[in-house]
Amino acid sequence: MKHYSIFSLTRNALSHHENWTEAWRSPEPKPEYDVIIVGGGGHGLSTAFYLAKEHGITNIAVIEKGWLGGGNTGRNTTIVRSNYAIEGNAHFYEKAMDLWRGMTKELNYNVMFSPRGVINLAHNDAQVDAFQRRGNTMRLNGIDAHWVSLNELRERVPLLNTTKSARYPIFGGLEQPKAGTARHDAVAWGYARGADSYGIDIIQNCEVTGMKIENGKMQGVETTKGFIGSKKVGVAVAGHSTQLFDMAGIRLPIESHLLQAMVTEPVKPALDTVVTSGAAHCYISQSDKGEMVFGGDIDFYNSYAQRGNYPTPEHVVTAACELFPAFSRLRLMRSWGGIMDMSTDGSPIIGKSPVDGLYINAGWCYGGFKATPGSGWVFAHTIAQDRPHKLNECFSLNRFETGHVLDEKGVGPIAKAH
C-alpha cells in the first residue's frame, strides 16, 4: 500500500497525477479462504480489516454483488452519534465513537469525520423531560451530552424557526457535542484499501447465490463466479439479510423497508451542526460541498425497490422548510432510497447463528452507518474467536426467543415502528 502523505501528493503532482497506483486490487477468487465476508458495505469491509489487524487472519475474501459502498453505506445521511440510553447500546456505540475519532489516522485515508455536534430538538414539555433524562443517562455512561437552551439554540443555529408560531414550537434541544458526520464513501474505500493492504481479496460484481452446509457446518458459498470454500462465513448485507439466511434455512426477525434521503443544490456554509426533530420527522445537515442533506422516516411498507414513493419526500421537505424557512428557497437536486434491515426490537443482531461457522451482522434499522467501525470490530472478534465480544453479547440472534430484546424506543415488536 502506498502511504498517502503531503510528500506522496507532491511527488505525484510532479508527474501530473498519472502514476497513482490503484487503491485496492481486483483479484479473481481463490478456491478457498479462511474467512468469507459477504457484503462490501462499510460493515463487511471493516470486519475484514479488523480480522487482519486485530486477529492476524488475512486469507479472507470480501464478496460484493455490486460495487463497494453501493448499498446503504453510500446512501445514508452520514450522521454519527452514540446518544443511546439502554445498557448494551450505549457501550457498543460509544466504542464505535472511539474508533471514529482515530479512523482517518488508522486507515491513512481521510474519512472527513466532523464532530460538529448533533442536536435533537424538543418540542414540548414532555420531550424536554425525556431528553434531559436521556442526557443524564448518557453522562452516567460516560457519554457527552449537553442541554441546549432556546437562547443558546438561537445563537448556534440562527436559521432555525424558533418562533412561538412554528408548527412544532421549539423548547430547546439535547446535544451530543462530540457526535457529527463523516464522508460515507471514504469509509468504505478507506477500509477496502486497508484490508487490501493485508492481502485480503475484495471481489466485486460477484453475487452469493447459495450456501453449502454439511451436518450443520459451513463449507462455503455458491457465487456467480463459482463455488468458493470457507469454514467461516460472515454475512453483512443489510436489507438482503433475509435472502442470505434463507439460503441456510434460517428465518430472521427482520423486515426490509425503504428509507429515502435527498440533497439540495450546494450553498455557502449556513448550518454547522446536525439538527434532528423526531416530532417533525426530519434530520438535516450541510455537506462539505454545501448541499443540505436531509431525510426522515421510512416509507413504512416492505420494499426492496431502492427508490421511494412521493408522499415521504413531500413530508420530509415540508418538515425541513418548517424548521428552516430559508431553505424553502433551495432547489432539490437528488433523492434516493436504500433498503433497510429493520429488526423487530430496533437493535442490531451481531453474533453466531444456528449453523456452525455462519455469522450474522444485520438489523441496523436507520442507524448502522455510525456503527460501522464498532460493528466490524466486534464482528471480527466474533468470527475469529467463534464467540461474541463482551460488547456484542447482548446483540445475539436468540434474544428474540428468550425475550432479552433491546427496544431503545419502547415501541414493541413491530419492525417498521423502530
Partner 1 sequence: MLIKCPWCGDRSLAEFSYQGDATVDRPEDPMTQSDAEWNNFLNLRDNPKGWHDEIWHHISGCRKHFKMRRNTVTHEIADIKPMDGALQGGDK
Ligand X SMILES: Cc1cc2nc3c(=O)[nH]c(=O)nc-3n(C[C@H](O)[C@H](O)[C@H](O)COP(=O)(O)OP(=O)(O)OC[C@H]3O[C@@H](n4cnc5c(N)ncnc54)[C@H](O)[C@@H]3O)c2cc1C
The footprint of ligand X (CB under 6 A) covers 38-44, 63-66, 70-73, 75-79, 207-208, 236-238, 240, 244, 259-261, 295, 338, 340, 364, 366-370
CB of 406 vs ligand X, minimal distance in Å: 16
Judged by beta carbon, residue 7 or residue 310, the one nearer partner 1 is 310
Judged by beta carbon, residue 22 or residue 401, the one nearer partner 1 is 401
Judged by beta carbon, residue 99 or residue 236, the one nearer ligand X is 236
Which of partner 1, ligand X, none has residue 242 at its interface (CB below 5 to 8 Å by kind)? Answer: partner 1
Judged by beta carbon, residue 211 or residue 415, the one nearer partner 1 is 415
Judged by beta carbon, residue 48 or residue 261, the one nearer ligand X is 261
* Angle ∠(300,210,235) on CA atoms, nearest 5: 55
Which of ligand X, partner 1, none has residue 78 at its interface (CB below 5 to 8 Å by kind)? Answer: ligand X
Judged by beta carbon, residue 174 or residue 319, the one nearer partner 1 is 319
Which of partner 1, ligand X, none has residue 300 at its interface (CB below 5 to 8 Å by kind)? Answer: partner 1
Residue 387: which residues within 8 A CB-CB, separation 6 or more?
Answer: 352
Torsion angle of the four alpha carbons 128, 132, 133, 139, in this order, in degrees rounded to the nearest 10: 160
Which of ligand X, partner 1, none has residue 414 at its interface (CB below 5 to 8 Å by kind)? Answer: partner 1
All three cell numbers of 158, joined, read 440562527
Judged by beta carbon, residue 98 or residue 246, the one nearer partner 1 is 246
CB of 71 vs ligand X, minimal distance in Å: 2
Cβ atoms of 313 and 326 within 8 Å: the answer is no
Judged by beta carbon, residue 20 or residue 300, the one nearer partner 1 is 300
Indicate the DSSP class of residue 213: E
CB of 171 vs ligand X, minimal distance in Å: 24
CB of 359 vs ligand X, minimal distance in Å: 13
How far apart are alpha carbons 374 and 158 in whole angstroms?
34
CB of 20 vs partner 1, minimal distance in Å: 39
Q: Exposure string (b/e) for 368-400, b if CB count within 10 Å is 16 or more?
A: bbbbbbbbbbbbbbbbbeeebbebbebbbbebb
Cβ atoms of 228 and 32 within 8 Å: the answer is yes
Which of ligand X, partner 1, none has residue 366 at its interface (CB below 5 to 8 Å by kind)? Answer: ligand X
CB of 257 vs ligand X, minimal distance in Å: 9
All three cell numbers of 280, joined, read 417533525
Judged by beta carbon, residue 171 or residue 220, the one nearer ligand X is 220
Residues near partner 1, by CB under 8 A = 240, 242-243, 251-256, 300-305, 309-311, 344, 400-403, 413-416
Which of partner 1, ligand X, none has residue 42 at its interface (CB below 5 to 8 Å by kind)? Answer: ligand X
Torsion angle of the four alpha carbons 121, 127, 130, 133, in this order, in degrees rounded to the nearest 10: 50
Which of ligand X, partner 1, none has residue 403 at its interface (CB below 5 to 8 Å by kind)? Answer: partner 1
Residue 403: which residues within 8 A CB-CB, separation 6 or more?
Answer: none
What is the DSSP code string of 287-356? -TTSPEEEEEEEEEEE---SS--THHHHHHHHHHHHH-GGGGGSPEEEEEEEEEEEETTSS-EEEE-SSB
CB of 199 vs ligand X, minimal distance in Å: 21
- C-alpha distances out from residue 32 to 75, 222, 229, 360, 384, Å: 32, 12, 4, 20, 17
CB of 92 vs ligand X, minimal distance in Å: 13
Which of ligand X, partner 1, none has residue 402 at its interface (CB below 5 to 8 Å by kind)? Answer: partner 1
What is the DSSP code string of 143-193? ---EEE-HHHHHHH-TTS--STTSSS---EEEEETT-EE--HHHHHHHHHH
Which of partner 1, ligand X, none has residue 99 at its interface (CB below 5 to 8 Å by kind)? Answer: none
How far apart are alpha carbons 363 and 244 in whole angstroms?
13
